[in-house]
Amino acid sequence: MDGDVQDTTRYSGWQYSGKVMIPHEPSSLSPHVFWEKYISKRRPVVLDGLLPEPSFQGQKWTDLNYLSTVAGDARVKIEPMHPELQRFGTAMTRRTVHLARFIDMLQHPDAKERGAYYLTTQYDSESELDGLTPDASDLDPVLPSPTHALIRDFPAQPSLMGGLVLQQCNLWLGAAPDTTQPNGKVANGGMSTGATAATGTSSGLHHDFHDNLYVLLSGAKRFLLFPPTAHEHLHIRGKVQTVHENGLIVYDDKTDGTDGLPRVQAAQWRLRARLRLLRELEELAAQSAGEAERSRAQRKDEGEDEGEDEDEDEDEDKDEDEDEDEDEGEDEDEGEDEDEGEDEESEADSHEVEESARNGAGSERIKKEPQSFSRIKPAVLHAHFGI
């Protein structure tokens, strides 16, 4: 057992027994059956075929010229392969380019250059890697670039998912070395372009915080799956606090509920809902007072003007008190200036760390990997499982 594991596991979902293969179902499976047999039971399933609804046109994306035409102006962050580990998912500093530029890179004559970068999850900042928590920011877009430019090609809520709500839609795009064996079978994932055997690429062992509906449009993809209860044997970087009944893993520095929403953010959303309700009540009160035709801003401005007139009558009485408090006020201002200076220094230090991560050598070129990643190297897993 890993020394960083200090958890209470309450997972009650499906676990692989070694006797049953991952089932296959048609993609036309009903939402009710999908929920009852798989989602609610936490059981993986392979759906044969693309999404059946006419609004799904994702197959068009296999045409790189189409992608470039429709979404080429979108700016995306692409991840470089680690030069020594030869894999992605190492938290190396990403590069921002237009999608059209990245598509040109994928068609480079040199196979090594084609596979040097990978388009993956478009989180907002490198700092989000530290936790990779669900809802790391309530401002994260549901359709991050370039999917916002491709929204006409897929349903935001596939019928298969029933009433489940989309958390985020991402496009993964890359060109692994050729993986086609002479017998025509795909060996290890990636875009096949020839007839010689080679090795694909790996993102490393990790877990996600949300259910995935993974649609494979081109190439091949191998998933090596472990149940949530296996985390204690997989040397996860973070200290696991608990594993909820539904399999959601929470770390000791988080207080997430079973829905993946941190309690602090849940409180923030409740506060926003109450403020929205307060505004609605204010509007109703204004209507009752016959002020419905005047905007809320106009009513607020008039209230502030009245407040200023009242304050002027009291200013003369407060002059002496203000003189006595003046020195204390200067001390408070100095304290605020010092805090601002510390923030500026911290920000500068952060930039220096990021710069050293770009220019350093070997393992120093990568930042701290997410706590949801395993310390086990992909090569070790591949050798162990013979893949």
As a whole number of angstroms, the distance between CA 202 and CA 175 comes to 12
Q: Is the dihedral of CA 186, 187, 190, 195 positive or negative?
A: negative
Question: Going edge to edge, which strands form the sheet with 5-9?
Answer: 5-9, 240-243, 249-251
What is the chain's length? 387
Query: pLDDT value at position 47?
Result: 96
Number of H helices, E strands in the chain: 7, 8
Report the candidate in 101, 104, 99, 106 with the shortest Cα–Cα distance to residue 122.
99
Report the candidate in 171, 183, 186 with the shortest Cα–Cα distance to residue 222.
186
When computed from its CA atoms, the radius of gyration of the chain, rounded to whole angstroms, is 27
SS3 36: helix
Beta-strand relationship, 117-119 and 95-98: unpaired
pLDDT in tens, the chain (387 residues): 444 545 578 888 888 777 778 999 999 999 999 999 999 999 999 999 999 999 999 999 999 999 999 999 999 999 998 888 777 877 788 999 999 999 999 999 888 888 899 998 887 654 444 444 444 444 468 899 999 999 999 998 999 999 998 888 999 998 876 544 444 333 333 332 222 234 566 778 888 888 899 999 998 888 888 888 888 888 988 888 888 888 888 887 655 555 556 667 677 777 888 888 888 888 888 777 776 666 666 656 665 555 555 555 545 444 444 444 444 444 433 333 333 333 433 333 333 333 333 344 344 344 567 788 888 888 788 888 887
Query: pLDDT value at position 76?
Result: 96
The pTM of the full predicted model, rounded to 2 decimals, is: 0.62
Report the candidate in 189, 173, 169 with the shortest Cα–Cα distance to residue 66.
173
Which residue is listed with tokens 């419905």? 292
> Domain coordinates of the chain in residue numbers?
50-127+139-178
Report the candidate in 312, 348, 247, 251 with the shortest Cα–Cα distance to residue 7.
251
CB atoms < 10 A from the CB of 329, how many? 10
Which residue is listed with tokens 């530290």? 130
As a whole number of angstroms, the distance between CA 120 and CA 365 comes to 19
What residues have CB less than 8 Å from 193, skipping those under 6 apart?
Answer: 178, 180
Query: pLDDT value at position 196?
Result: 28
Report the candidate in 128, 192, 180, 178 with the shortest Cα–Cα distance to residue 369.
128
Asked if 118 and 87 touch (Cβ cutoff 8 Å), the reply is no
Query: pLDDT value at position 31?
Result: 96
Distance of CA 200 to the CA centre of its chain: 24
Report the candidate in 117, 118, 136, 116 with the shortest Cα–Cα distance to residue 126.
136
Query: pLDDT value at position 185?
Result: 39
Asked if 221 and 186 touch (Cβ cutoff 8 Å), the reply is no
